[in-house]
Amino acid sequence: MRTRPTTAAAVAALLAATALGLSPHQAQAAPADATSQAGTSSQVRFHDIPGSGGITLKGNVFTPAGAEPGRKYPLIVLPTSWGMPQIEYIAQAKQLADSGYVVVSYTSRGFWLSGGQIETAGPADIADVSAVIDWALANAPADPGRIGLGGVSYGAGISLLASAHDPRVKAVVALSGWADLIESIYSGRTQHLQAAGMLGAAGYLTGRPGPELQQVLGDFLGSKLENEQAMIEWGRKRSASAQVDRINANGAAIMLGNAWGDTIFPPNQYAGFFEKLTGPKRLEFRPGDHATAEATGLLGLPNDTWTNAHRWFDRYLKGERNGVDTEAPVQIKSRSTEGYEGYADWKSVGSGGTEKLPLADSEHVWANVDSGANGGILFLSSVLDQFAKAPPAASIPLLPRAFAAVWQSPRYEQGRRIRGTVRLHTTVTPTKGDGTFVAYLYDVGPLGIGKLVSNAPYTFHGKTPGQSFGVDLDLFSTAYDVPEGHRLALVVDTVDPLYIEHNPAGAQLTFSSPRTDPSYVSVPLREQ
């Protein structure tokens, strides 16, 4: 039976056609085992690849142009992102093959025409990676001693996990992925509503979620607290951070890349994972949202994220002395300025020390009303910040104080370069046993308009009404320059469209600063 392509598939086919130099008609009409070649460039074949458990994975294979009989080439395997078909990486795969790699990309199980059900980077997905490697070694001129994995988002997460289980893997490039799934979409014990909702909807639209995923997604979005521990265990099994010892033992060279404003996989969890790696490693953070830093490269356009990915593979699969391993292993771009800053490790990013902003005044807020301070909209807000330097904004003087607690620093006579993870320490007294609040740090200009620097949610359950408790909350890591003459403001409210809140009707929260345990915001700074 011939499957009618959806609009998304048709668009993807046109992009693939551009990458291969084919006409749109040729790209859409290519059969499963078609071969394309433009001049002396690398060639691609579309294959049915045996996955684990007897399923079939839809894939494609690029081999270098004029591959010599008997010669083996380094192999790169690219699992697709969540909801994407096998031609997602076709432009990058072609470029890699043109430079001497065998590249195999495949549609992850449960999506599009690949078999099986969506396992969300479960054991079957990891076994698929090894099965694809086995197939490539048997059916392509691939070198078993030089194998790399890579991918964006879902493909990044699968690649990291597979490097813990298959010691043949020598290099990994994991872009816009996760190392800790729970910390990514359940940070501060708070469900990231828009992120989980988008992933769930995309899964149902483009694939076949398995029963375990359906159960977890329903429990998660339904706030079934009685199943919380089971959800956490499910996520831990799918987190490379829980298998870092195995990754270190296997010794693969790991490159991680992410965006400051990633609303699906915030950067903190990648930074923490990076610090635990003991082998060759590199961490890159840039402005943008989920996968936006890599997007132009997927279309075959110049892109420094992919340029560095190629350099990483060249160094650790080809042995080229291209300098990528002698550069500072942490490379970041500020959201406010151009150019990279290099650091020896993540701890050095805030090497200029920390500035503590006291939160001396007690603040009292009513819950369940959005004050107007929020983290923006999934994808859109951070993309505007990336390309137009226009993050979510709020008029700080006009925020209703009944629903938002506000503290402000004095105006700065000298600018501040915030680098790393802002931390909030405060004391909370609730009137109900459950609740949620969201903390925001703003850069406030002379007219009182605050631009969002960072935010993070926090949820508590089972507290004693009227009894105070301490809170330490890490906001999402960032790199942001506060101009001279501006000030910083911390705003706390209880409702944000990005998150599920757990405030009972009529709930109130008091934020105080006891003399024996003062409240503050700790802001890491770059050396002046």
SS3 per residue for 424-472: EEEEEEECCCCEEEEEEEEEECCCCEEEEEEEEEEEECCCCCCCCEEEE
CA dist list (Å): 274 to 56, 258, 335: 34, 12, 21
CB 140 within 8 A of CB 71: no
CB 101 within 8 A of CB 130: no
* Percentage of the residues of the chain whose pLDDT score is greater than 70: 92
Higher pLDDT, 331 or 68: 331
- Residue pLDDT, tens place only, 187-202: 999 999 999 999 999 9
Q: What pLDDT sits at residue 527?
A: 80
| pLDDT higher than threshold 90 for residue 347 | yes
**Range 108-120 average pLDDT:** 98
Rounded average pLDDT over 319-347: 96
Both tokens of 294, joined, read 């890599």
> Residue 28 pLDDT > 60, yes or no?
no
415 DSSP assignment: -
Please give the model's pTM, rounded to 2 decimal places. Answer: 0.92
Tokens matching residue 498? 């990005």
Q: What pLDDT does residue 43 have? A: 84
Residue 177 has pLDDT above 80, yes or no: yes
Average pLDDT, integer, range 458-477: 98
More confident residue, 517 or 13: 517
What average pLDDT does the segment 341-364 reach?
95
Angle at 514 between CA 510 and CA 517, to 5 degrees: 120
Q: What is the model's pLDDT at position 29? A: 35
In whole angstroms, give the CA distance from residue 223 to residue 318: 49
16 has pLDDT over 50: no
Enter the tokens of residue 104. 């195999």
Looking at residues 111-128, what average pLDDT do you find?
98
Model confidence at 240: pLDDT above 70: yes
* Among 11, 158, 141, residue whose Cα is nearest residue 82: 158
